Amino acid sequence: MSPEEMSNMKSLISTIASVTATAMLVRSIASDFIPKEYRSYVFDSFHSLFHRFSSQFTILIHEFQGPSPNLVFEAVEVYLGSIVNSSTKSIRLGKTENDKGLVITMDKDEEIIDVFEDVKVTWRMECRRIESGSQNDEIKDMIAALCSELRCYELKFHKKHKEKVMKSYLPYIMERSKNAKEESRVIKLYSNFRNWGSDGMNLKHPMTFDTLAMDEEVKNALIDDLESFVKGKEYYSRIGKAWKRGYLLYGPPGTGKSSLIAAMANHLNYDIYDLDLTEVRSNSNLRSLLLGMSGRSILVIEDIDCSINLENREQKEEKENKHNRVTLSGILNFLDGIWSCCGEERVIVVTTNHIDKLDAALLRPGRMDMHINMSYCKSSAFKQLVFNYLNIHDHELFDQIGELLQVVEVTPADVAGELLKSKNPTISLRGLVEFLKIKLQKEETLKSQNGGPEAEEAFKDETKHESIHDSSEDLSNIVDL
């Protein structure tokens, strides 16, 4: 280093030391002579004067907006937790019973640099402890007064990018954090035993569409329909209909209707509201329950034909139920009346063992948009069950079992019960073959005793339905509309 450069370096160090000493002296004088209730105001004034001559623009996002939590602050907290990188030296880690995994948030005095559409921004978390007895207006509201510190996110960027940050970057953060919170939260199960309750139960049902034993074609059609529904907000708004979708699951007991509901909830990450109509005392009570539901949820009415008196009105006059005053008209208005518009992104699932007992008005489009026949176990559902229980994809007995399933009516629950008897694939499948042969023999004996071929044809006619019946508009092209 040349003598001239050495001299310049000494001059620079001397200047920095002088400025630092001056700043420390000013701070000391301020602490000694300025009352503490005015210090924040004085320091903020100097801070404001400094920024007036800076090219940087700063946005402060406080934790509270008056007496209420600041939703922007919550969104930023979630977003920054998702982009924490190796340059971050300190983070906060936590988990509640409503979180699927660990929750990462930014620690105080940490900085994170983010880039959005070539705009570089800097985030910083500031925390200020609240001194006891403080009368600052900023902490007079009840919620903040209960906190030991006030938190605030500081967002800095070049002032020429102000419009892009305000109109694009911050809305992007709000949307992304909303999706992240939905994906990370635990699914809740609510019951109307006490008007849904406040917390609900955590739903930890492991069933997914990957493990659901169901006809593959029917399953894929349902998944496509659910995906179209989730992406159909603009479509429903354009056609002037409430953003909801109804599914009727019908078929004999043990065909997997409840498992399918759990798979739908896990796929959509929607809470489940289990409505027991026998606990509802009036139509007005039914409307109150509807208003108490959240969006992005599944309303389930299981065994609707057994719960209350909902006979086909073409066969009988509508009657009040013995123990409550819920009527069929009340149910219909609940499903697609004016009150059903209070809430959006809602799925309604109704199950029944006897579709023929339901009034046609309950089955029409707008109420039950898709009818799904939960049929007896066939080849594709059987193979899924074998993979679930025995972890095999193929076996020499598959063809024989497949042929038997074409003529024997057994539910997936029946097949699962046989597969549970042994973890050895060969022993388990041989047991299933014997079970199916015995079942077939009993069915043939019963049919011969009840009239032979005529009785068999009558039995088939009673259960003859399409596996899927979509009774509303085709939503397969919602994304392209």
Residue range of the domain that includes 75:
28-184
- Tell me, yes or no, whether 352 lies in a domain: yes
Q: Is the same domain home to 203 and 151?
A: no
Contact status, residue 353 vs residue 252, Cβ threshold 8 Å: yes
End-to-end C-alpha distance for the chain, whole angstroms: 70
| Domain-ending residue, one of 184, 212, 237 | 184
CATH of the domain at 296: 3.40.50.300
- Tell me, yes or no, whether 476 lies in a domain: no
Give the separation between CA 479 and CA 345, rounded to whole angstroms.
16
Q: Is the same domain home to 39 and 126?
A: yes
Element (H, E) at 170: helix 170-184
Give the separation between CA 246 and CA 371, rounded to whole angstroms.
9
Give the separation between CA 72 and CA 91, rounded to whole angstroms.
20
Q: Is the same domain home to 75 and 174?
A: yes
Q: Is the same domain home to 340 and 438?
A: no
Contact status, residue 87 vs residue 115, Cβ threshold 8 Å: no
Q: Is the same domain home to 263 and 211?
A: yes
Contact status, residue 401 vs residue 432, Cβ threshold 8 Å: yes
**For 131, which DSSP code?**
P
- Tell me, yes or no, whether 459 lies in a domain: no
| Domain-ending residue, one of 130, 156, 184 | 184
Distances (CA, A) of 222 to 209, 252, 422, 461, 474: 10, 19, 33, 25, 13
Q: Is the same domain home to 270 and 339?
A: yes
| Domain-ending residue, one of 136, 166, 184 | 184
**For 166, which DSSP code?**
I
How many other CB atoms sit within 10 Å of the CB of residue 322?
7
Q: Is the same domain home to 367 and 383?
A: no
- Structure-token match 């739903």, residue found: 203
Element (H, E) at 350: strand 346-352
* Domain total in the chain: 3
Sort strands 111-116 and 188-191 into parallel, antiparallel or unpaired: unpaired
Strand partners, 60: 154
47: its two tokens: 């801070």
**Residue 75 CA, distance from chain mean position:** 17
- Tell me, yes or no, whether 471 lies in a domain: no
Q: Is the same domain home to 147 and 108?
A: yes
How many other CB atoms sit within 10 Å of the CB of residue 222?
22
Q: Is the same domain home to 105 and 176?
A: yes
Task: Please provide residue 167's backbone torsions phi and psi, each rounded to the nearest 5 degrees.
Answer: -95, -20
Q: Is the same domain home to 213 and 354?
A: yes
Question: What are the pLDDT tens digits along the chain (481 aa)?
Answer: 666 666 666 665 666 566 566 666 666 666 666 666 666 666 666 666 555 667 889 999 998 888 888 999 999 988 988 887 666 677 777 777 667 677 777 777 788 889 999 999 999 888 877 655 554 554 444 455 455 678 899 999 999 999 999 999 999 999 998 888 877 778 999 998 777 877 788 888 999 999 999 999 999 999 999 999 999 989 988 988 889 999 999 999 999 999 999 999 999 999 999 999 888 888 888 888 888 888 889 999 999 888 766 544 444 554 545 555 788 888 888 888 777 777 778 999 999 998 988 888 888 888 899 999 999 999 999 999 999 999 999 999 999 999 999 999 999 999 999 999 999 999 999 999 999 999 999 888 888 877 655 555 554 444 444 445 554 444 433 333 2
Question: Which positions ≥6 away from 315 have C-beta within 8 Å?
Answer: none
Strand partners, 370: 247, 470
pLDDT at residue 47, rounded to an integer: 62
- Tell me, yes or no, whether 320 lies in a domain: no
Strand partners, 420: none
The SS3 assignment for 416 reads helix
- Tell me, yes or no, whether 129 lies in a domain: yes
Q: Is the same domain home to 36 and 172?
A: yes
Give the separation between CA 458 and CA 446, rounded to whole angstroms.
14
The SS3 assignment for 150 reads strand
- Tell me, yes or no, whether 7 lies in a domain: no
Q: What is the pTM of this model?
A: 0.69
pLDDT at residue 464, rounded to an integer: 41
pLDDT at residue 220, rounded to an integer: 95
- Tell me, yes or no, whether 21 lies in a domain: no
Task: Please provide residue 347's backbone torsions phi and psi, each rounded to the nearest 5 degrees.
Answer: -110, 135
Q: Is the same domain home to 70 and 215?
A: no
